[in-house]
Amino acid sequence: MTTALNAPIPSFDALTATSGTTVSSETLKGQFSVLYFYPKDSTPGCTTESQDFTRLFDEFQALNCQIFGVSRDSVKSHENFKAKHDMPFELISDPDENLCTVFDVMKLKNMYGKQVRGVERSTFLINPDGVLTAEWRKVSVPGHAEAVLETLKAQG
């Protein structure tokens, strides 16, 4: 089951995240949530995107919004990535692609002339009732975190 715009997100079991936390569909209720899916820790685009969300974190928090980064990397990789860039939010490890499947972000991509299956950079805004209210797919990093913040301001 995948997520549809303006519909409740499907329930998903707890996934391991950084700082010894777990995140489930229940974790996302009660406040706005941003889930941003990215291909790989410590790569240039993913680093820039994470730094942009870090820079704007206080503004998201002021609007009652939590942020979670999601990739297939291990928790250990996430911990290193998070520490290196002083990220104030948690990163969810999804090695079995459970959450990636719920949000339909696994896509065939061209890498050096070969087709590979990977995470399509995507972001989802979920309201306090657990309803998906905005989505961005095939994200281009420059200005993206700002666009998500502006959408949140319009909804909040």
Whose CA is closest to 9, among 21, 62, 27?
A: 27
Query: Does 65 qualify as catalytic in the annotation?
Result: no
Half-sphere exposure of 130 (CA within 13 A, CB side): 11
C-beta neighbour count of 117 within 10 angstroms: 9
* Candidate list 17, 28, 46, 119, residue with the active-site label: 46
Provide the annotated active-site residues: 46
